[in-house]
Amino acid sequence: MTKIVPQVADRETEFEKRRGVSRLEVRHGFAQVHVSQIEGDVMRGRLFVLEAVTNAAISIDFLKLSPSGMSFLVPEDKGEEVERAIEPTGVHFSIHSARSILLVHAVNIRDEEGMIASLVQTLIGTGAEVDHLGDMHDRMLMVLRTEDVERVAERFQETLTERVS
């Protein structure tokens, strides 16, 4: 005879990941491209820039639209190629090299009350320059200057250790 055991909502099963931050991941080797002050039809200007980048066969990540332009990441070694591709479009742009991505992995990060706010509060408290901040259902990503990323990751690690203790 099979015994039915009631499921307890707070109990984790073996295949579930523990709630809260599970790990930090750092990725180096990026440049942040900012396109701004597009005049006239902003959407058309964005498309013109994206077409130029596509024609140069340059991969982009973390595209973010702004009221007068957009920003995105490219591999750092493609910075000069991006510049050559975008310059003929005539838009105002800048490229900031030496950028890294810090990923904070946490199951259901959006559902954990206050978690995103707490992570952003910790980030701001480090004084690091933040180029981009975004979240997905299981992680938060931050684009930072490479010189700041290890210090920020260490601060997150300290904060997480303090919460567990």
Query: What is the DSSP-derived secondary structure letter of residue 15?
Result: T
Question: Which of 7-11, 92-96, 136-140 bottoms out in mean pLDDT, i.e. has the lowest?
Answer: 7-11
Give residue 3's pLDDT band: very low, low, confident or very high (50, 70, 90). Answer: very low
CA-to-CA separations, 123 to 17, 22, 47, 115, 152, in angstroms, rounded: 24, 17, 33, 12, 7
Domain boundaries, the chain: 20-28+99-164, 29-98
Phi, psi of 102 (to 5 degrees): -110, 120
Confidence (pLDDT) at 2: 46
Annotation: CATH topology of 20-28+99-164? Alpha-Beta Plaits (3.30.70)
Strand extents, DSSP E, 37-146:
61-66, 69-75, 92-107, 130-136, 139-145
Q: 80 vs 157, which has greater pLDDT? A: 80
Average pLDDT, the chain: 88
pTM: 0.81
CA distance 113 to 86: 42
Tell me the per-residue pLDDT of 58-106, one tens digit each, with 9 for 90 and over.
999 999 999 999 999 999 999 999 999 999 999 999 999 999 999 999 8
Is CATH 3.90.226.10 the right assignment for the domain spanning 29-98?
A: no
Question: Residue 129: is its pLDDT beyond 70?
Answer: yes
Domains 20-28+99-164 and 29-98 share a fold: yes
